[in-house]
Amino acid sequence: MDDAILNEEQSLKHIPSVSRPATALDGLMEEISGRWSSRAIDAERSVSWEVLERLIEAARWAPSAMNGQPWRFMSFGPEDSHALEQARRVLKPGNAWAKNAPRLLFVMAKKNRGDTEKPNALAMYETGMAMGQMGIQAVREGLVFHQMAGIDRDHFRMLFSIPENLEVVVGVALAFPGSVATVPEERQELETAPRQRHMPKQIHAMNGDIPQ
């Protein structure tokens, strides 16, 4: 590894387990360049109520159209081991690694506006904004914060009697970083592989040009 990358890594204070900073432009917030989705978690170290509260707070202050705030969260932890065990069963086989997480969070989006039946077409977008903020706060807390689309939504709905107007969006593994050795072998390489992104010109164009 070259010195420049090493120095960049050493300057990052808030990073989960293995450091995998994005090769990003100077000036990017460390919490953004240092965020990544690790699967190496410490099963023994719980995520306290105080930490969870700050994550929810980060999401709570996200913007939304007409301040509709459609995001809803259900969290499961050691305070109710039965419910946590039930929530773990919702993880699809590819996310079995997340069963080690001491806390699971499920994210839902309220599909209707207020008390009306009027649909909120932006509910998923706005909930994603809240999750973006939560993810950044999670980096500041030194947490592994790994979102998962690989959940059985119908099973979750059934287990916890989720009403129709809530869309179940993702599950999130919340944990403190642990050893890479705890990650299933076929996924260990992902813990250290170089991180990939489209180039800026592929996602942004100016003055009427279409991004590639």
Ligand X SMILES: Cc1cc2nc3c(=O)[nH]c(=O)nc-3n(C[C@H](O)[C@H](O)[C@H](O)COP(=O)(O)O)c2cc1C
Query: Which positions touch ligand X (CB under 6 A)?
Result: 36-37, 95, 147-150, 170, 195
Collapsing DSSP states into helix, strand and coil, what is residue 156? helix
What's the one-letter identity of residue 76? Answer: F
Closest CA to 42 of 107, 103, 131: 103
Least Å distance, CB 146 to ligand X, is 6
- Which DSSP category does 209 fall into? P
The nearer residue to ligand X, 105 or 170, going by C-beta atoms, is: 170
Give the residue nearest to ligand X (CB). Answer: 150
Least Å distance, CB 96 to ligand X, is 10
| Cα–Cα distance list, 184 to 14, 74, 179, 187 (Å) | 25, 27, 11, 6
Least Å distance, CB 195 to ligand X, is 6
Query: Using an 8 Å Cβ cutoff, are 172 and 115 in contact?
Result: no
Distance CA 204, CA 164 (A): 37
Least Å distance, CB 116 to ligand X, is 28
Distance CA 173, CA 150 (A): 12
The nearer residue to ligand X, 46 or 147, going by C-beta atoms, is: 147
Least Å distance, CB 208 to ligand X, is 30
The nearer residue to ligand X, 60 or 92, going by C-beta atoms, is: 92
Q: Give the Cβ contact number of residue 181 at 10 Å.
A: 8
The nearer residue to ligand X, 38 or 75, going by C-beta atoms, is: 38
Query: Using an 8 Å Cβ cutoff, are 211 and 203 in contact?
Result: yes
Query: Using an 8 Å Cβ cutoff, are 40 and 183 in contact?
Result: yes
The nearer residue to ligand X, 49 or 125, going by C-beta atoms, is: 125
The nearer residue to ligand X, 88 or 113, going by C-beta atoms, is: 88
Least Å distance, CB 179 to ligand X, is 17
